[in-house]
Amino acid sequence: MHAPAPKTLAPKTLAPKTLAPKTLKVRIWRGREEGSFCSYEVPARDNQTVLDVVTEVQRRHEPALAYRFACRVGVCGSCAMTVNGVPRWTCRTHVAKVAEAGAITIEPLRNMPRIKDLACDMRGFFDKWQKAGGRFSGTATRAEPPAKVDPANPRRRAADAAIECINCAVCYSACDVVSWNEAYLGPAALNRAWTVVNDERHALRRTTLDLATGEGGCGNCHTQGSCMRHCPVGISPTESIAGLKRMSLLSFLVRDRDAAEAPAGARAEAEEAPA
Amino acid sequence: MSGHRRHQAYWAFIGHRLSGLALAAFLPLHFLALALALQGAAALDEFLALADMSLFKLAEWGLVVLLAVHLFFGARLLFLELHPWKRAGDSRLGWIVPSLLAAFLIGAVFAVRVV
């Protein structure tokens, strides 16, 4: 009896180590509103983020390049830029996922004045956060025990779904309505307003709802969904804005008793609150 | 289309907006046709004779499809705004393609019955 012949294994074909080009072409906006794209070439590396690329350009090619970053790990949201036409956190964007034919184009976020290169002026964005009534105003003093909030309460759950916004302005940059209407408060500010109108400890719920539904408020949203599509933390400002629209309609038809009990003069107090 | 707009919800917005504008542009013509009745049967009949032209029938078909697109996309928006969302981020994207298909189905039924 013959033993079966041992199988001969075909020699393995080694896959090429990498298909990526050795260099990456980068176009970066230089200047303010008037400016132009400058091109650079940096080494293409594995696990390279867009922020790594910007840092490499600044350290090796263009020391005067202005850009913002802080944590570099997707916590602070300060490194948001427009990469190949899409607003993103550059620290959490791998070059391999966004490069087109070995090239990327980096610009500052849209819808905000450009200060220099990749840095934009975010004051208007943060001011709108206040204009939408996003400042929390408690109903209790420090001397009182903490409020007992039921986490299963539908309003609390609605607030929880929207509370993790870190104001990176990616949604604001992605929104075309912000581009078309300067008065529009934008998705981030309205998302914040939605969290506080659902917070039972907030004393100025009626005021916030009035501000969020007034001029430049939620009624301007066309439900394009770009804010929701591009939010790096998976929040849905579109949903929050829809909630505000629904709440304003309901409060018009059946006046919200809780909100109506906001202290007298609360609106004036909110409007005078410092930014 | 710029990168940040390349997603289904934005296409639905475009479809809803363009169909709405086209319908708004049609309305004056519609009222003009109705107003011709005030000028007598001859004027109205002369205008209605245009309705037998192939190009007119094609335009009618387009009008029906646009109406259906606007209706279905508008219904999605109303649902999103008036009904609490079941899951975070669930903007009923799955309704967009069936809405378009339903609109063209209505257009097909109209074409079969008219042509």
Q: How many domains does chain A have?
A: 2
Q: What are residue A138's phi and psi, to 5 degrees?
A: -75, 160
Residue A5 lies in a domain: no
The DSSP H or E segment spanning B44 is: helix B41-49
The structure tokens listed for A19 are: 């298909």
Q: Which residue has the higher pLDDT, A238 or B40?
A: A238
pLDDT recorded at residue A51: 97
Residue A116 lies in a domain: yes
Q: Are B27 and B71 in contact (CB under 8 A)?
A: no
Q: Are A69 and A75 in contact (CB under 8 A)?
A: no
Q: Please count the CA atoms within 13 angstroms of the CA of A56 that sit on its side-chain side.
A: 16
ipTM of the modeled complex: 0.85
Chain B interface includes A111 (CB < 8 A)? no
The structure tokens listed for A260 are: 């109506």
Residue A11 lies in a domain: no
Contact flag A249-B82 (C-beta cutoff 8 Å)? yes
Same domain, A112 and A131: no
Chain B interface includes A234 (CB < 8 A)? yes
pLDDT recorded at residue A272: 47
Residue to substitute from B81, B82, B93, interface A, most A β-carbons within 10 A: B81
pLDDT recorded at residue A212: 96
Residue to substitute from B2, B4, B92, interface A, most A β-carbons within 10 A: B4
Same domain, A171 and A251: yes
Residue A15 lies in a domain: no
Same domain, A131 and A178: yes
Same domain, A164 and A134: yes
pLDDT recorded at residue A21: 55
Q: How many domains does chain B have?
A: 1
Distance of alpha carbon B37 from alpha carbon A191, whole angstroms = 52
Which CATH number is B26's domain given? 1.20.1300.10
Same domain, A96 and A134: no
pTM: 0.85
Contact flag A234-B88 (C-beta cutoff 8 Å)? yes
Chain B interface includes A176 (CB < 8 A)? yes
Distance of alpha carbon A227 from alpha carbon A163, whole angstroms = 15
Same domain, A160 and A248: yes
Identify residue A115 by its one-letter amino acid code: I
Residues with pLDDT less than 50, chain B: none
Residue B44: domain span:
3-114
Residue A239: domain span:
123-142+149-272
The whole-chain average pLDDT of chain A stands at: 88
Which CA distances in Å does A124 have to A188, B1, B44, B106? 12, 27, 57, 47
Same domain, A260 and A211: yes
Q: Are A257 and A207 in contact (CB under 8 A)?
A: no
Residue in B5, B82, B88 nearest the CB of A246: B82
Same domain, A90 and A132: no
The DSSP H or E segment spanning A56 is: helix A50-60
pLDDT recorded at residue A275: 39
Residue A132 lies in a domain: yes
